[in-house]
Structure 1
């Protein structure tokens, strides 16, 4: 009779689902506290009517608990030679980062069990910080999860919502682990320097718990309301500018600078990675069109001004798209080998012209060396004399304090040694 009444009330269908959940729960690798919490919430679900708004929240909570990879870990590939091979195949240069990953693997091989490092790769855009995380996951044979933190301004994005709200969800960290299906993935926290804070909380403060090796073995998500062990997750954060990251968060991460590439490195990256990738994207085989080394050097020097290789990839893409159009229109490629003199037809007038060193023999002209985000430059500092009362030094141009000070020192030196 009770079963008939329950069927009339619409509860009969949920019994089977609850029984399934109970059986799954018994097989999970939970500690006593988590197990007690799960059973308590399951009983609460049994007493809740399926038409009640609380039912969906409760069901979502229990399904999240069952879907999380409690105690599930992928086996790390501890073959150092293989890991080095994977890292070198995908990225040219970046020796510091590769070395740190291989050091971690070596310690893991000796010790058998250790907390994963928390690394922050910082450097200019387009140098391969995000894609490096993918290679690290491939070299370790771990799952790869990436979350973009650019523009995140709500603390609940990291820590989840409390279950008192309808439509409450776990935070991005817990969601990422469910997607990965293991408790030791490589987790990329992309653009960590672009987190914002407002009246809804400060996400960078929530990340302090995630990125602290002393605390993250018991990470507390507001939705889960039980502790979860994140100590085996390898977190790799990426940033362009360290000045916008709060000092306590910066202190918890191991900083590795991923600096810009020099021309020779860009040429190698283009030959090994960008040209084959762009040829494939445009449906052209490598035997049909060739872009030799000297052409790539001219593209880098005259058509791009950057630390990374994104602009270079766009320029190569433009050349190949124009070639594809020629083939589609006339049935053949106008050029099978792109020479430096052909670049004007494909890319137009060179956009950048570098100053050339002309020696320091000219009186009143000195060659200076300048550092920019796009690489080294030379600049000419010129002086001219004019008649007038009193020695007055006029500086023109947008000079920094160091340059102003150098000019003042040069004048004072001349005054002090004029009698010689």
Structure 2
């Protein structure tokens, strides 16, 4: 008899809790509908779409046409998806990165060799052969009108100034500087990026670099490349 009363009491408590949660959910939905009707709150999807459109609008003239086409397609797709679906999160994350990248934004490069030599001498004592090679690199860039796509390999024991030399080159060229270390890196997805469908997927380090520095022509230093773990 006592067990029966306890069971009834538990069932009643559960029923009251469920009905309370249902009532709370119903009231919240009604409140959202009222706010939306009064113009005090917009739909989540509409707000997101508006935010992404505002981000890309100033970059439309410089952004490549095929990128704009992808963004417009993804925005249309976002409007049709349910906010609770996993595909919605994937599309939102993809648009977040697409609209945040510095499309067509470049730093004005400076190929003044005299200025570069002064900056290198200010930042580092000695290292004459290294400085001469860097000045040669800048001089060739001045003749060509660009230093795009060039790679300099700096080797030496820890603490000799490889990273700071890279920073000085960026300052001399008037470029943004970004450093990332690959020491101990075992997953190639850290560099090239994850598949979009993975939960918590992130783009590669180079794409993250572009978003962080805000220009499309930064000087990137890949540090500790000799310590990459080969699988």
Indicate the TM-score class for this superposition, using the shorter chain for normalisation.
Answer: 0.7 to 0.9
Partner of 1:41: 74
1:184 aligns with 2:217: yes
Indicate which of 123, 145, 151 corresponds to 2:184.
151
Name the structure where strand makes up a greater proportion of residues: 1
Q: 1:156/1:15 Cα in 2 relative to 1: closer, same or farther (>3 Å)?
A: same
1:27 aligns with 2:58: yes
| 1:165 positional shift | 0.9
Partner of 2:43: 12
TM (norm. structure 1) is: 0.43
| 1:12 positional shift | 1.6
TM (norm. structure 2) is: 0.76
Indicate which of 119, 129, 144 corresponds to 1:111.
144
Residue deviations 1:298-351, cap 9 Å, x none?
Answer: xxxxxxxxxxxxxxxxxxxxxxxxxxxxxxxxxxxxxxxxxxxxxxxxxxxxxx
| 1:147 positional shift | 0.2
Q: Distance in 1 between matches of 2:159 and 2:56?
A: 46
1:93 aligns with 2:126: yes
1:69/1:182 contact within 8 Å kept? yes
Q: Distance in 2 between matches of 1:181 and 1:157?
A: 20
Indicate which of 171, 178, 184 corresponds to 2:204.
171
Q: Distance in 2 between matches of 1:66 and 1:96?
A: 43
| 1:101 positional shift | 2.2
1:154/1:197 contact within 8 Å kept? no
Q: Helix, strand or coil for the counterpart of 1:56?
A: helix
Name the structure where helix makes up a greater proportion of residues: 2
Gaps of 5+ in 1: 199-420
| 1:123 positional shift | 1.5
Runs of 4+ in 1 over 6 A off after TM superposition: none
Residue deviations 1:37-75, cap 9 Å, x none?
Answer: 111111111112222233222111111111111111111
Q: Distance in 2 between matches of 1:94 and 1:72?
A: 34
Larger Rg: 1 or 2? Answer: 1
| 1:133 positional shift | 1.0
Q: Distance in 1 between matches of 2:126 and 2:55?
A: 48
| 1:114 positional shift | 4.3
User: What are the equivalent positions in structure 2 for 1:215-254 lying under 5 Å apart?
Assistant: none
| 1:22 positional shift | 2.5
Give the alignment's Cα RMSD to 1 decimal: 2.2
1:143/1:186 contact within 8 Å kept? yes
1:45/1:59 contact within 8 Å kept? yes
Q: Distance in 1 between matches of 2:139 and 2:42?
A: 56
| 1:27 positional shift | 3.5
Gaps of 5+ in 2: 1-32
| 1:189 positional shift | 0.4
Q: Distance in 2 between matches of 1:121 and 1:94?
A: 12
Per mean C-alpha deviation after superposition, the further-off stretch among 58-67 and 29-38 is 29-38
